[in-house]
Amino acid sequence: MAVIAGVLVGVVAALHVCFLVLEMFLWQRPRGRSAFGLDEESARITAPLAANQGLYNGFLAAGLVWGLIATGSTGFQAKVFFLCCVIVAGVYGTATASRKILYVQAVPGALALAAVLIAG
């Protein structure tokens, strides 16, 4: 189960790296605009906010990678903490922005957290 938990945590970390790239570097490009349903003007106006959001996603990814690398209770605690942050952010995003966030952020985070807790 520890291997499955590690893979799921890695997937969640990779998703957050993808979110970072979309929000920090591709927001105003066609790929970023289509991912978030924005026109050119809206993307230009909101780009600083998106970059900030992307930076936070990078911090989540970094924390999850730290949890994967760290040994013993430190790794376990880091994974649990950062996965809880992912889930809370996903639930909040679902409630305030888009239902899609539930499926691309909160659910993967919850599955990874369940696996980490079971693997102990």
- Provide the residue type at 31 as one letter: R
Domain ranges, residue 27: 2-119
Query: pLDDT tens digits, residue range 53-64?
Result: 999 999 999 999
Task: Confirm whether pTM is higher than 0.75.
Answer: yes
Contact 66, 83 (CB under 8 A): no
- How far separated are the first and last CA of the chain, in Å rounded? 9
Query: pLDDT tens digits, residue range 46-100?
Result: 999 999 999 999 999 999 999 999 999 999 999 999 999 999 999 999 999 999 9
Q: What is the per-residue pLDDT for 30? A: 95
Number of independent structural domains in the chain: 1
Contact 101, 60 (CB under 8 A): no
